[in-house]
Each structure stands twice: as C-alpha cells, then as structure tokens.
Amino acid sequence: MRVRRRKGAKEHLESNPQYVILKPEEVKGHWQEVFGNDHPIHIEVGSGKGRFITGMAAKNPQINYIGIDIQVSVLSHALDKVLDSQLPNVKLMLADGSSLTHYFADSEVERLYLNFSDPWPKRRHEKRRLTYKSFLDTYKKILPEKGEIHFKTDNRGLFEYSLASFSQYGMILEQVWLDLHASDYENNVMTEYEEKFSQKGQVIYRVEARFKR
Ligand code: SAH
C-alpha cells in the first residue's frame, strides 16, 4: 500500500500504547494477558489502513484481533480507525511478517488473514510474496495444528501462485472463491483495497487453506 509519509506517525503510534504493542517481542507467549481474556487471537499480516481488522473486531467481540503492518505511516492510519472504534479486542503492531516467530509462541495465533498482499509479480521477487514457502514455515509455527490462512486478493497471478504454493506445502484448500462478491459468502468484511478494486470491476478471489498438522 502506497501512502504518503506521514509526519509524526511514529510519535502517534508511541503515544497510544493501549492499542499499539510497541515491544511485541516482550509479550511473546503472553498475548492473552495483553487482551485480558483467553479469547482466540486472529491476526492480519499487511493490515494496511485497518478497515478489515476493526470491522472484524466490531463483528466478533469474542475474538481478539491484531493488525500487523511493516509501514509506520500505514499503521498510523490504522490507529486512527482503532481510536475511532474504541474496541477492546483490536491491537496493532509494527512488524515484518517474516519475523512473526519473534512475537508469537508456537500455536499462539488461531487464524491468519492475508488481504490484498503485494503481488511482487517479478519472478526474482518470489521470496517477498507473503505466500512464499518461507512465510508458510513461519505461519505454521505460530498457528495450531490444522490452523487456517484466509487469503483474498484481486490479483489473479498472486492468487494462482498462492494456490500452488499452499498445495505444494501440503496444505488443504478448504474452500476457493473465484468471484467472492458474486458468491453467497456471508459476513464478508471489506478491506480498503477490496472496495477500491471491486468498484473498478475487478473480481475478488478468496481461499481458506489449512495446514494438515
Ligand atoms: N490489507 C489491506 C492492505 C493491502 S496492501 C487492504 O486490503 O486494503 C499490502 C500491505 O501489506 C501494505 O500496507 C504493506 O505495508 C504491507 N506489507 C507488505 N509486506 C509486508 C510484510 N513483510 N510484513 C507486514 N506487512 C507487509
């Protein structure tokens, strides 16, 4: 996601520690204490401006959500949404999806969402795609046995690549949508990119994949 560099973004994050987990490595294995309950934890890697994660948190108060993004300015926009919502079950953190094992203990995360991840279409950038096998290794560690990844995108190339990557990894494709918005899938929570691309007439692809064990 391209956003203009936001002045004061870092300070904005730092002055809201009730919503932004500033030292996530220190809460590894103790996330339920951060939320003050034992509800399951769902994370979005590459949460952008936070519409999905706050929308999900509003709809599902019995789930704890963490939005994760690598860009300070982007995360600071997500923080604005979280501050507006005042929801107790959503937190944010600045982190790289490749380092999640530094912040989450084995099986600490119940489900992982990827929405409109950067496609990195060039072959030589394959390793940067959030569904590349090294990322799947990381996700598998922090998810429980049979843990699920829910992924949606408008990018056909990344979708095709990801189906193959999940499959080569031995994951089960529980369900695949080739046109999510034309389907009977209920409870869809739109992301910023989803709204933008679907308004332009692009179809939205979705897959629920799970690790075998
Ligand atoms: N999910 C949002 C944003 C999609 S854009 C939406 O659908 O609207 C992709 C986002 O992933 C960007 O905000 C980018 O900063 C973030 N991102 C890219 N690589 C990442 C990584 N390795 N770890 C965490 N976030 C990443």
Measured in Å, residue 144 CA sits from the centre of ligand 1 at 23
Domain limits, the chain: 9-210
Going by C-alpha positions, the residue among 141, 118, 122, 145 that lies closest to residue 131 is 118
d(CA 90, CA 55) in angstroms, rounded, equals 10
Measured in Å, residue 147 CA sits from the centre of ligand 1 at 21
**pLDDT recorded at residue 63:** 98
Q: For 9-210, which CATH class?
A: alpha beta
Q: Return the C-alpha torsion angle 79, 80, 85, 91, nearest 10.
A: 0
**Which of 74, 136, 139, 189 is the best mutation target for the ligand 1 pocket, counting ligand atoms within 8 Å of the beta carbon and taking the most?**
74
What percentage of the chain exceeds 90 in pLDDT?
96
- Mean pLDDT (the chain) is 97
User: Where does ligand 1 bind, in terms of residues with CB under 6 Å?
Assistant: 1, 45-48, 52, 68-71, 74, 96-98, 115-118, 191-194
Residue 95 — very low, low, confident or very high, per pLDDT cuts 50/70/90?
Answer: very high
Nearest CA to ligand 1 atom 9: 117
Say if residue 5's pLDDT is above 90: no
Number of helices and strands in the chain (H, E): 7, 7
